[in-house]
Structure 1
Amino acid sequence: MPESYDAIIIGGGHNGLVCAAYLGRAGCKVLVLERREVLGGCCVTEEIWPGYKVSPAAYVNSLLRPEIIRDLDLKKHGFAMLPRNPSSFTPFPDGRYLMMGPDREATQKEIAKFSHKDAEAYPQYEAMLEKVAAFLEPLLVETPPDPWGSFRDLTKLARLGWKFRKLGRKVGVEAIEILSGAARPILDRWFESDELKATIATDAVIGAFAAPSMPGTAYVLFHHVMGECDGAKGVWGYVRGGMGTISNSIAAAARAVGVEIRTEAEVGRILIKEGRATGVALRDGTEFHAKRVISNADANVTFLKLTDPKELPDDFRQAVKNIDYSSATVKINVCVSEPPQFKALPGTGVGPQHHGTMHICPSPDYIERAYDEAKYGRPSENPMLECTMATALDNTLAPAGKHIISMFIQYAPYHLKGTTWELEMDKFADRCFDILNEYAPNFKNSVIDRMVIPPPEMERLWGITGGNIMQGSMGLASMFSLRPVAGFANYKSPIKGLYMCGAATHPGGGVMGACGWNAARAILKDKIR
């Protein structure tokens, strides 16, 4: 007979591993099944070229919940952060640049190069975000109530409404705009400098098929200011050894409490008997049985590929089909013989401009025009580039003197009009290299090798529908009580014993682990029969 478990988790991404670790701590017998040979999903480190340890997907960290780091003792298992200071560098075509970071006084001086008014407004802007964050952040680690659910749900909604009321009218209105609105009107209201607005606006569109002028981008922007790095709020950093260290440290914590983890074990279907999940079958036919099956895959994969359609209500299947998986992100990983040397800040070797995110994005209109081309099915002629070089702070990732550059690029849609990614991939990458070379003329000659990952390749590599790194849109219509679909934001599904724990659930995408942690607590409370 197949071996039996208390819980089987489909997918060894960081949320699945977090869920497994917490269930293991509670005494459950847990099995994690990962399709690939490496754990972590989109939060991985791989030796793409000999001697180069690359984080091919996720590349910086701030959102990983401090409670998870503490509870699972991740530092004991190898997790260590490298804070970035400065955190961003934006060169401009006229030879000027904007450098920003956690040092508020230094950041204000930098902003004052473009606008004294903006320099004075920036601390007030941050204070506004901090007030909103104080209300929203606790919601990240709660199971959302169902507005159409039980009396208990309605009571929870009432308590939430009371907390919202206590914010006061001014902060409450700001919170609603951040949750539902567009980033650009907010930035236009606060600031006058295009250089500052462009630098901030890049955080509003990462991973989204949307321009900063579109609703929903304010919340994506907000995601980038509500994390922390070693206790410092709003600071982003690199993970020593690459992003895979997060997943590997969580896996080590899970194994320490008895969790079994198998790689190269692709689940082919979820086993269901009499309306209840009873286990999984691998692609090779091997079966494992369990009282609970927990999917770290997105809703499309879980319910439309792994689940027999006759086991699900028609309205639920239709709701899953309606989830927006649009993606317009390309990731290019590059190994180089030297750092990019920018005309705006000449020098040799590694400088402060290489510590954080290097933005190639001169104005908000530049981002809007880049989006305009993609919405008609064309890769942007002048895309927005976000470049990071973790080797500026982490000498464990590349041979001495060499570096890895991560390029996160907007916009290039999954579906191209009149052509294919096979034909366009290298041309698009060449264009991105040409753009960076305009700002850092040594870049192209420094390139040793590159790895180009357009949306269809993201889907193939990491199993994310449409190449959407958030496992579905992060707009208001697909968040909180509506994520992944209305009525099932409690990590459950219409099938008894079948749950979800990945970014498709509340609170969504980003390497925070909250989805897995929330799911584990919900599962442990659920006394299934």
Structure 2
Amino acid sequence: MSANNYDAIVIGAGHNGLVTAAYLAKAGIKTLVVEANDRPGGAAVTREFAPGFRTSAVAHLLHALHPRVIRDLGLEGHGLRATQHRVGTTALIPGGPRIDLTGDAAATAASIGKVSPADAEAYPRVMARLVRLSSALGDFLLRTPPSPLAGANDFQTKLALGMFALKLRMLGKKDMLELSRILTINVADLATDFFESDAIKGLLALEATLGVYLGPRSPNTVFNLLYRLSSFGKNGLGGFYLPTGGMGSVVDALVKAATAAGATIRTGAPVERLLIEKEIATGVVLKSGEEIRAPIVASSADPQRTLLHLVPPGNLDIEFSKRIRHLRMNGCVAKIHLALDGLPDALKSSGGRVVVAPGIDHVERAFDCAKYGRVSDKPALEIVIPTLSDPSLAPAGKQVLSILYQYAPYRLRATPPDQARAQVFERGLDLLEQAAPGTRRLVRAAETLTPHDLETQFGLSGGQWHQGEVTLDQVFFLRPAASFQRYRMPIPGLWLCGAGAHPGGNVSGAAGANAAREILKDVKARKTRAAA
């Protein structure tokens, strides 16, 4: 085999691409990973945004990395300390009360009780039930969605589907009925059913809409909440964590796991197009003109970038291309990084994660702006303080804030991207100053990333970090498209292994692991046929 021939090529060294490469290499497949940027990691990289100040570029909390992926790839042996620093959540209301949610049930109840005794009693009960319901859905994260054509499903897929149905049934009659009732409703109705305080309702509203182009009164938002909560049970880490070194430490462990297994990783190697010969994917052509051949090409880039840009025109069915073109990829979250001389008093005692979403109406009005192509006048914010658990991310005595700004739509009607970037910074800082007075005077440097920046810098079409919204019509056997939900794309030899495939976004590694499993099954089947 020549130096430019491999058994498999993985496009993109984001976390899912690295997971796929590690699994393939462990199975003896000669694997090459090609990454456009100058370092692996994609949106999970830790980088310097101001002299001496570092933070996670896009994804800034670890909660969904699947325990089986950690175990299978031996990530803890490669330096990952995923659950070393658990963070609590502080809900701040400008000029109003605060609620601190921690791992201490009594302290959490006491904090909520200062705002609403009824909510203090209801919160642990309601959240425990939601996590239980979400875990039943989460059991399918590391499964391959079945094909709608019964004959196309092998025994393992049918068995997995049967076990999934059995686990849903084992929820019991009451929980099954509750899951059926809430799955498609909006989170505003759900929150109002169980809670009375704006602080708790606003927190749930943000949890259910973060990263999707939906407001709290939009259908599907309870599903998105359950999807997020699925990592709080056995299918995730059980809570929010800030890994030492930022999210880049997850990437570092994955790089070590992949290279230890025998994979080769090339950075600064952007792919220009796929090699398609006789309607079969046979490799890639880099922008430098270099051709690299392999009978397996697995792309962790999003479906639109992979299928509409890397696949040469004329190789895909028109209806399939139309479906991919119409995937909802309208990113709506911006990112603000602040380098601070210190922390304002309101943030000093926080649990490490702060939410500013004063109520359902506040989040809904923020979404109203996005619906009409404008940056939210008063956004909802998720703020992470990584230096509370890892002071090495900033100079001594300094702090870093990593902020998600919901909503800043990719599709702007009348606002130029540069103006939108300035609006995100000023409006985000204004709201933070109201919630945590004194923040503005502590800012010494800042970076703002809009969805346009996420697309340009990280290759995320539409600035959509999930590589396609995670809603009921774009998940399970409909992700990325019906009949092509099993990671194998219409062109033989081409596979999808990123978040644009089942089960979707979050730093879970599940899509990469599932794709690797299906690729290895196909390799085994081809060897069996060849030997027959």
Q: Compute the TM-score of the two structures, normalised by the length of structure 1.
A: 0.94
Distance 1:102 1:497 in 2: 47
Q: Is the 8 A contact 1:215 1:475 kept in 2?
A: no
Is the deviation greater in 24-33 or in 171-180? 171-180
Within 5 Å, give how 1:110-189 maps onto structure 2: 110-150=111-151, 152=153, 155-156=158-159, 157=161, 160-177=164-181, 179-189=183-193
Q: Is the 8 A contact 2:7 2:29 kept in 1?
A: yes
Q: Is the 8 A contact 1:277 1:498 kept in 2?
A: yes
1:55 correspondence with 2:56: yes
State the partner residue of 1:68.
Answer: 69
Is the deviation greater in 324-333 or in 212-221? 212-221
Deviations 1:317-373 (A, max 9, x none): 11111210012111011111101322xxxxxxx7331x3221122111100001011
Deviation, 1:145, is 0.4
- 3-state SS, counterpart of residue 242 of structure 2: strand
Deviation, 1:23, is 0.4
State the partner residue of 2:437.
Answer: 441
State the partner residue of 1:360.
Answer: 356
Distance 2:8 2:399 in 1: 42
Distance 1:482 1:294 in 2: 19
Q: Is the 8 A contact 2:272 2:310 kept in 1?
A: yes
* Structure 1 letter corresponding to 2:225: L
1:301 correspondence with 2:305: yes
Deviation, 1:76, is 2.3
* Structure 2 letter corresponding to 1:515: A
1:406 correspondence with 2:406: no
* Structure 2 letter corresponding to 1:77: H
Is the deviation greater in 83-92 or in 443-452? 83-92
Q: Is the 8 A contact 2:66 2:235 kept in 1?
A: no
Deviations 1:204-238 (A, max 9, x none): 11111111111222122223323259999631110
Within 5 Å, give how 1:368-447 maps onto structure 2: 368-447=364-443
* Structure 2 letter corresponding to 1:525: K
State the partner residue of 1:205.
Answer: 209
1:487 correspondence with 2:483: yes
Count the aligned residue pairs: 521
* Structure 2 letter corresponding to 1:416: L
Is the deviation greater in 307-316 or in 493-502? 307-316
Distance 1:519 1:231, change over 3 A: closer
State the partner residue of 1:454.
Answer: 450
Deviation, 1:193, is 1.4
Structure 1 unmatched runs, 5+ = 343-349
State the partner residue of 2:105.
Answer: 104
1:256 correspondence with 2:245: no
1:341 correspondence with 2:341: no
Q: Is the 8 A contact 1:294 1:498 kept in 2?
A: yes
1:274 correspondence with 2:278: yes
Distance 2:89 2:324 in 1: 38
Distance 1:479 1:497 in 2: 23
Q: Is the 8 A contact 2:6 2:30 kept in 1?
A: yes
Distance 1:264 1:45, change over 3 A: same
Deviation, 1:92, is 2.1
- 3-state SS, counterpart of residue 214 of structure 2: coil
Aligned residues with identical type, % of pairs: 38
State the partner residue of 1:497.
Answer: 493
Distance 1:148 1:2 in 2: 40
Across the aligned residues of Structure 1 and Structure 2, the Cα RMSD in angstroms comes to 2.0
State the partner residue of 1:6.
Answer: 7
Distance 1:164 1:85 in 2: 30
State the partner residue of 2:530.
Answer: none
Q: Is the 8 A contact 2:49 2:337 kept in 1?
A: no
Is the deviation greater in 7-16 or in 129-138? 129-138
- 3-state SS, counterpart of residue 188 of structure 1: helix
Distance 1:101 1:413, change over 3 A: same
Q: Compute the TM-score of the two structures, normalised by the length of structure 2.
A: 0.94
Distance 1:100 1:84 in 2: 15
Deviations 1:157-208 (A, max 9, x none): 4554444333333212333455433222111111111111112221111111
1:218 correspondence with 2:222: yes
Is the deviation greater in 408-417 or in 126-135? 126-135
Distance 2:199 2:107 in 1: 16
Distance 1:506 1:178, change over 3 A: farther
State the partner residue of 1:17.
Answer: 18
Structure 2 unmatched runs, 5+ = 527-532
Deviation, 1:149, is 4.0
Deviations 1:451-475 (A, max 9, x none): 1101111100110110001000111
Q: Is the 8 A contact 2:64 2:235 kept in 1?
A: no
State the partner residue of 2:503.
Answer: 507
State the partner residue of 1:239.
Answer: 243
